[in-house]
Amino acid sequence: MQIFVDTGLVEEIREAAKLGIIDGVTTNPSLIAKSGRSLKDVIEEICSIIDGPISAEVIAIEKEAMLLEAAELSKIHDNIVIKLPLTEDGIAACKVLSAQGVKTNVTLCFSSNQAILAAKAGATYISPFIGRLDDNGHDGMALIEEIRAVYDIYGYQTQVLAASVRHATHIRDCGLVGADVITAPLKAIKLMYKHPLTENGLKAFLSDYAKSAK
């Protein structure tokens, strides 16, 4: 399973890169807005830090405008993945971009029906929002399982990219049900390192070493 960091803050991406286990980055206009910088400048810097897929989202809601934005974003770097909303226009734009060999990430997915449409359009990634589903009384992980099952039955090549990840348990469960990728805030990724037995074991080792060194 690949691990992407979900942020628009360059300082967080630099910190994440130091971990040595980050495969890519997902951003959106809201995340980048927090930096106070232009979208192009931030995306360019991110591409210089992480050598992997970098999802950059279009703002337009109509197909032709999406394609124009996608063309500009694609010029920034070869690693750019165009992030599109799961709407009629977004899926239509995805079909065009896929035919051109442009990588795409179809976002705001909340059902397996929507995921089928993205796969039919040739999306590189589909992004089910598991946290938002959980927040609204639905089972986000069940959706990952459904999409995985449908994609496996029909041999769709679209990768399941679990998004709106809230915590380390989400990450573990995504691995168990077969998500290809998870994208999460840096805080959630760093929680994957944590276990009380690891911390207690290290303390015991260091204590024993200190005693033996006297």
Q: How far is residue 29's CA from residue 214's CA, in Å, rounded to a whole number?
A: 57
Residue carrying structure tokens 């029909």:
154
Q: Of 18, 75, 83, 190, which is the active-site residue?
A: 83
83 is catalytic: yes
Amino acid letter, residue 102:
V
CB under 8 Å to 24, separation ≥6 — which residues?
A: 2, 4, 5, 50, 52, 53, 54, 55, 79, 81, 181, 183
Residue 76 and residue 46 in contact, taking contact as beta carbons nearer than 8 Å: no
Residue 194 and residue 161 in contact, taking contact as beta carbons nearer than 8 Å: no
Active site members: 83
